Amino acid sequence: MDINVLDFIKKKINQRRDDIKVALETGNIPSYDEYKFCVGQIRGLAYVEDEIRRLMKNSEAEDD
């Protein structure tokens, strides 16, 4: 698997998570439904990031 692609995706995940956190911290979430949506996005991003870490770890183990 191309590590550069995974690094790019991880960077985009971190950027999106940071954008959501800023919106939450500054009170730019207009409703409770939007708040729940943002929390769900953060959870989804964390899941994808964990899966990428697992893939990278497995890829490194196969290379050894």
Q: How many of the other CB atoms lie within 10 Å of CB of 6?
A: 15
DSSP string computed for 12-41: HHHHHHHHHHHHHHTT---SHHHHHHHHHH
Q: pTM of the full predicted structure?
A: 0.82
Per-residue pLDDT 10s for the chain (64 aa) are: 577 898 899 999 999 999 999 999 999 999 999 999 999 999 999 999 999 999 888 887 777 6
Tally of structural domains, the chain:
1
- Distance between CA 2 and CA 15 in Å, rounded? 20
Give the structural domain span for 8.
3-63
Secondary structure (3-state) at 56: helix
Element (H, E) at 64: none
